[in-house]
Amino acid sequence: MQEMPSLEVNLGPFKLQNPVLTASGTCGYGEELADWTDVGTLGALVCKTITRRPRSGNAAPRTCETSSGMLNAIGLQNVGIERFIEDKLPWLRARGFSLIVNIAGETVEDFAALASMLDREDGIDALELNISCPNVAHGLDFATDPVQARAVVEAVKKATVLPVIAKLSPNVTDIRPIAQAAEQGGADALSLTNTYVGMAIDIERRRPVISNVTGGLSGPAIKPLSLLAVYRCAQTVQIPLIGIGGIRCAADAIEYFLAGASAVQVGTATFVDPNAAVGVLEGIREYLTRHRISRIQDLIGALER
């Protein structure tokens, strides 16, 4: 009888039981998704972005469906770091999920301060640095300049012993220099990619659909673009990569693995099917079994040319 394939992967010093994670901003703080799917079966929960102070986000309307995905301009609405630690983290800690906390700051000092506060808390396995949000003022500054990208990663690494994952923007001419800068700054892994800037227009009102005018495009439309970003960065950096963008099924995830990703995040698909991430995980296991592949690691970067 064939043994079950091993799904364990490493993101630097952070070991995952399997390579399927939630994507920040699509599952709240975990409670919102827990009634609909078994979050504990996933490699890790990535909670929505946390900032130093609470944020109410952008004015509505701030989401809209597109022909092959969705636009959002939520604007990093969140409860702030203090309430997250007091009200949200205890629930997460009690469930025992592998937890990656996504953080965002307006300055390098903000990122370092957030990392320092979370470094003192139990139940957190890694930090994901949102240096690439396209829906807030200056949200892309750190992800479009290699010098700033390296500076923020270096500051966070000095402030915490937790593994650090830099989430990069695709809204650049070439993502590879940014990836190299984050690696040089000490990042343990990279998340590729955040959303692409886009817009939609209501032709009857002749106005933008999103009150912010632009929003971040996610979903199936961006998968070929994010897949290419992963492939290119896999040829450029030595640290693990997390593929994000348009993953709806196991086949999508496996494309990312072959391109060089060690793990994937499932995001927009969760709005259609809250159990999507678990379905992706089950499909990966079935694929490995069917192809008699004993370890998921054997797929990573195994694209043939």
Q: In the predicted model, what is the mean pLDDT of residues 180-194?
A: 98
The reported pLDDT for the residue numbered 140 is: 73
Count of domains observed in the chain: 1
Q: In the predicted model, what is the mean pLDDT of residues 59-83?
A: 96
Tell me whether residue 206 is in a domain. Answer: no
Q: How confident is the model at residue 135 (pLDDT cuts 50, 70, 90)?
A: low
Tell me whether residue 69 is in a domain. Answer: no
Tell me whether residue 157 is in a domain. Answer: yes
Tell me whether residue 208 is in a domain. Answer: no
Tell me whether residue 119 is in a domain. Answer: yes
Q: How confident is the model at residue 305 (pLDDT cuts 50, 70, 90)?
A: confident
Tell me whether residue 71 is in a domain. Answer: no
Domain that holds residue 159: 9-58+77-197+218-298
Does 137 have pLDDT greater than 90? no
Q: What is the DSSP string of the chain?
A: -PPPPB--EEETTEEESSSEEEPTTSSTTSHHHHTTS-GGGSSBEEPPPB-SS-B--SPSP-EEEETTEEEE-----B--HHHIIIIIHHHHHHHT--EEEEE--SSHHHHHHHHHHHHTSTT--EEEEE---TTSTTTTGGGS-HHHHHHHHHHHHHH-SS-EEEE--S-SS-SHHHHHHHHHTT-SEEEE--PEEE--EETTTTEESSTTS-EEEESGGGHHHHHHHHHHHHTT-SS-EEEESS--SHHHHHHHHHHT-SEEEE-THHHH-TTHHHHHHHHHHHHHHHTT--BGGGTTT----
**pTM given for the model:** 0.96
Does 194 have pLDDT greater than 70? yes
The reported pLDDT for the residue numbered 136 is: 63
Which range is least confidently modeled, 30-34, 103-107, 130-134, 258-262?
130-134
Mean pLDDT in the chain?
95
Which range is least confidently modeled, 1-10, 14-23, 95-104, 148-157?
1-10
Say whether 249 is catalytic.
no
pLDDT tens readout for residues 13-40: 999 999 999 999 999 999 999 889 999 9
Tell me whether residue 304 is in a domain. Answer: no
Q: Output the domain CATH number for residue 278.
A: 3.20.20.70
The reported pLDDT for the residue numbered 138 is: 60
Tell me whether residue 229 is in a domain. Answer: yes
Q: In the predicted model, what is the mean pLDDT of residues 154-178?
A: 97
Q: Name the active-site residue from 64, 133, 233, 249.
A: 133
pLDDT tens readout for residues 207-231: 999 999 999 999 999 999 999 999 9
